[in-house]
Amino acid sequence: MSNAKVSPPLRNEVEPCCPPLAERPLTAEEAERTAKMFKALGDPVRLRLFSAVASHEGGEACVCDISDVGVSQPTVSHHLKKLKEAGLLSSERRGTWVYYRVEPAVLAAMGQLLTRAAAV
């Protein structure tokens, strides 16, 4: 791929992402958008990686600290990228190491999406 220079609006403004599941039937695009986040957490390895980052102090962790999930290093990097694309994690390079941290706003949105569905 030769789009190394491309830098589109990749920022996921996820606050208005999705209405509660029990409010009304989701439209096709709402479902498309929301399903991406659930799908990101729908893999055991990704879920472990995410949990490892979320449970680390400060809500952030170096890749080297969480790479012990039973898969190869490229696979870990691949899954972290997926989580980042889903808007659940953000990454920052500090010297030699890369740190990932959770996005609490997105998590809260997903949580309310479910709890409000249960409340009704």
List of residues contacting a second copy (CB under 8 A): 21-28, 31-32, 34-36, 38-48, 50-52, 54-55, 59, 66, 69-70, 102, 104-105, 107-108, 110-115, 117-118, 120
Cβ closer to a second copy: 33 or 91?
33
Residues 59-88 as x/- pattern, contact with DNA by CB under 7 A: ---xxx--x---xxxxxxxxxxxx------
Residue 89 C-beta: closest distance to a second copy, Å: 12
| Torsion sign, CA atoms 82, 38, 103, 14 | positive
Instruction: Give 67's contacts (C-beta < 8 A, 6+ positions apart).
Output: 73, 76
Give residue 61's region: left, alpha or beta (phi > 0; psi -120 to 50).
beta
Residue 5 C-beta: closest distance to a second copy, Å: 25
Nearest residue to 79 via CA among 47, 35, 38, 34: 47
State the Cα–Cα distance between residues 119 and 102, nearest whole angstrom. 26
- The span of 9-17, 20-28, 56-64, 105-113 binding DNA (CB under 7 A) equals 56-64
